[in-house]
Structure 1
Amino acid sequence: MPRQNTCPADFPPFILSQIEHMAQRIVAARKARGETQAQWAQQLGISQPTMARLERGDPAIATATYVMCLWLVNPQLNLLQLLDSTAPAAAAALSTPPHTILPGAPDANADIAAMAQPPHSPADEFASLLAQWNNAVQ
């Protein structure tokens, strides 16, 4: 079967918005450390212009480059662990209409309420982005 690539222009607006928001947080983390784009680009093995595109939220930048940048922000980043903890809740939140949540099911309500809260770190945001992307593709 031929490989199909999604053109970044065809990404859902929500995904593009999340990438831009993540990029803004990456910029903030880099600046908080007092480091330049060139310094980060060298650590990531990319060019400074690519780093500038990443910081603008360019969706055409390779996912691995974004992941490496998030790792630079948080070296303890483990995407598999993040996805294991957020994917079921994301799937539940996206597949369960609010009117079908049972009052006697506090765990389900807590999972859905947690998904409604904005992510608190770039790693959380990235995990949320991946979970939502996976559901949007299905």
Structure 2
Amino acid sequence: MAKSSEHHDFLPPEARVALERLGEHLTLARKRRRESLRAWAARLGVSVSTVTRLEKGDPGVGMGVYAAALWLVGRVQALPELADPALDQGALLISIREAEGRSRPRSRPTNKASAS
């Protein structure tokens, strides 16, 4: 029995398209290597139907399966870069705003001893 896709309805359209493109790229990589679905399934330790779902960009396929497929094509090293903090533009903007808020000149304390 197929899993319900209701829990995947929250995915933004951009995320769904990105998964579909990843699946297309993995399909092309497998075919260029002249490997069958059955061979890839065996190498990934999953069923042929899971590889088919992966190649369609199904969000229900586990991230570990996607990672293993990336490993098969020599691209697993790109995985951690997807959430690299140095490339997080949203967090960078927040940091800049916070730094701008702290960069206001502070008032100088008065030296009461020298005033006497």
TM-score range, shorter chain: 0.5 to 0.7
Larger Rg: 2
Q: Percent identity?
A: 31
* Distance of 1:57 and 1:8 partners within structure 2: 12
Over the residues paired in the alignment, what is the CA RMSD in angstroms? 2.5
Give 2:43's aligned residue. 43
Give 1:54's aligned residue. 54
* Distance of 1:78 and 1:44 partners within structure 2: 18
Normalised by the length of structure 2, the TM-score is: 0.66
1:16-35 aligned at under 5 Å gives the runs 16-35=16-35
How many residue pairs were aligned?
Answer: 89
Q: Tell me, which stretches of 5 or more residues in structure 1 are unaligned?
A: 1-5, 97-138
Structure with bigger RCO (C-alpha 8 Å, 6+ apart): 1
- Tell me the amino acid that sits aligned with residue 44 of structure 1: L
Normalised by the length of structure 1, the TM-score is: 0.56
- Tell me the amino acid that sits aligned with residue 31 of structure 2: K
* Distance of 1:78 and 1:17 partners within structure 2: 19
Q: 1:9 deviation in Å? A: 1.7
Q: Deviations over 1:35-72 (max 9, x none)?
A: 11110000000000111111111111111111111111
Change (3 A) 1:35 1:56: same
Q: Tell me, which stretches of 5 or more residues in structure 2 are unaligned?
A: 1-5, 94-116
* Distance of 2:7 and 2:76 partners within structure 1: 31
